[in-house]
Structure 1
Amino acid sequence: MRSNALRIKDVAISLFAVLAVWQLICLANLVNPALIPSPAGVWRAAVDMYQKGILLKDLAVSLKRAAIGFTVGASLGIGFGLLTSRTRFFAVALSPLFTLLRPIPAIALVPIAIVWFGIGEESKYFVISYTVFLAVWLNTHHGMSHTPSIYIRAAQSLGASRAVEFLQVVVPASAPYIFAGLRLGAALAFLSLVAAELTGASSGIGYRLDEARQYILVDRMFVGLIELGILGAMLDTIFVAIGRRLVHWEQA
């Protein structure tokens, strides 16, 4: 408990120092205010967006898209990771395809997603799910494929059935990898969210960033970037906390 309090204190001190230096640089006119607004200017822009109802509306829309895309992508990633790691047929048939797809960035899929699904929500869900799926699949596949053979032999020597072997040996051994994939997938969900919202959207954080770019409203752009950073950090903290509770044997 004390260590958590110390970490929070360290983060608060670090952020305060960054904001103080940023504000001093702006007050000293060392940067062009049209390109880099002051923290006070960004705060005023955030308050203005909140009062107009833009901030919370965009937040709600983006969170919904990210949550649905993450849920679909993570579920498929774990499912296919199980298939390709434990069944040779699926490993031969699908692993090369997924390996080929992994280097393709989410933003490159936006045009084809719009052609396939239109400019509605489905295209955005597709782009986000695609990115999350590949990250979760890779970690799940790797974790289940590299379960120490000594664990498997020990379970078999004790007469464990295939189902017991899978549930009590393979799953616990690969759980840290799966959680690592989910953690990475959550971060990538926000990354691909911005790419998905840059085209064919009328709301959301990514859309608002692009709108601010068009009108050169850099303070609003900073609001969107900080919003994404805070959301990502909060989500990552939640995943770390859940992982420590559910995969407690990893800490031993």
Structure 2
Amino acid sequence: MRNKPLHPRDYNKTVEPQECEIKIKKRSRNDLLIAGLFVVVTALLCYAGWWAWHQYMISPPYVDEERFPIRGIDLSAHNGYANLNAAAADGYEFVFLKASEGATHRDANFVLNYQKAMHAGMKVGAYHFFRFDRDGVEQAVNFLRSVGNRHLDLGLAIDVEEQGNPTNIPLDTIKMRLEMMVEYLNMAGHRVTFYSNRDGWKKYLVDEYNGMPLWICSFTSENARNRDWTFWQYNHRGKVAGIRGEVDLNAFSGSREDWENMFENP
């Protein structure tokens, strides 16, 4: 079909270039408005997510000092220099010191921190970061050699957690290696405490080690009601005199009398 020629009156209906430019500008403004709203909404959602994370991970739970009067800290080389006389004067009565990790690593500050803690009159324990990908006996030997014959009021603790560990190790292998380590330490005369969070406790420990001393990591006040633990790590971002930066804060589960009895009747 052939196109009909335009009638003279139809020439007035053609769109002028200026009108096209106006429509394009309006469309551009709308696009910018939509993009701006998208950015604002995204920013608000990100802030809401950050705030929720901040409340959960950073804001510590309320820990009643009358119910939990015995407070402590834990340290590793990661914390750098520590004036433990100042920490003790600040009211902290015990410290768990990292001694070792895996089959070969030894914490660079363990010996010095131990000496300073003893001089400050703090009760001392040592902990080992358990590696999922290392032999259990080799880890036990490394732990014992790291602490040597030093007196440890709080004994030995094994840190069992997924953070910092490979994720491709079968659960049965992890449990077998942990069992080998615990048995070796038991044969050497040590009863261990386990450090973990709630998920780690349920996944790796509760079936085989229920009833053993537990040093729980948790940032909820649930632990104030449920005392199935001996020590409670309740804050990763504490401020303590004598220690630069942030440090882990811990509480003992019992009263001061319970605390004193623990050392009179070990």
Normalised by the size of structure 1, how large is the TM-score?
0.23
Normalised by the size of structure 2, how large is the TM-score?
0.22
Answer 1 or 2: which has greater helix percent: 1
